[in-house]
Structure 1
């Protein structure tokens, strides 16, 4: 497998209004990621079944440098600065890729 670098982020949102605003924020951010980040291989947002106030992000990057480039983007910096007002909690798990099959959309 490549030098892939990934993470899973679990966001607990404050309430329904916060969830709607958070979803609008990540949608704008995803547009920037899609248009400007070739090193971001996978960036998928999930809402777990039965957990309407939870979002889980799965992110996979070509390598640590691609993740660092992602973090430096204006759209990502805006997301990181604005997200806190919507959150009850956040949990981040960094992942070193061992093996697998890449997702195709």
Structure 2
């Protein structure tokens, strides 16, 4: 069953948002090539909130997420992100059903 999260980040200012995006892109290079259990990992800008970023992350399962968290590129991102942020909020998600998800149609 799929496991996901949504994270809302608020950068300190425009320069911090730009630097945060660069840090996220560096992490994404490793995520794209080294994490088969990471199904979706997207950094979104928010309309009318130029300092806000929202990550949507979907993993094959909880173990895939835990493996993601152990990766050096992710550990670097987690260690360095705070210098750019005013705040962040994490919401964990457990799949019920959907299209294009890891399980196709999860149990209800």
TM range (shorter): over 0.9
Structure 1's unaligned 5+ residue stretches are none
The Cα offsets for residues 13-70 of structure 1, whole Å up to 9 and x where unpaired, read as 0001101110100000000000100000001111111111000000000000000000
Aligned to 2:30: 32
- Where relative contact order (Cα < 8 A, 6+ residues apart) is larger, the structure is 1
**What CA RMSD, in Å, does the superposition of the two structures yield over aligned residues?**
0.8
Compute the TM-score of the two structures, normalised by the length of structure 2: 0.91
TM normalised by structure 1 equals 0.94
Number of residue pairs aligned between Structure 1 and Structure 2:
101
What is the match of residue 60 of structure 1? 58
State the partner residue of 1:75: 73
Over 6 Å off, 4+ runs:
none
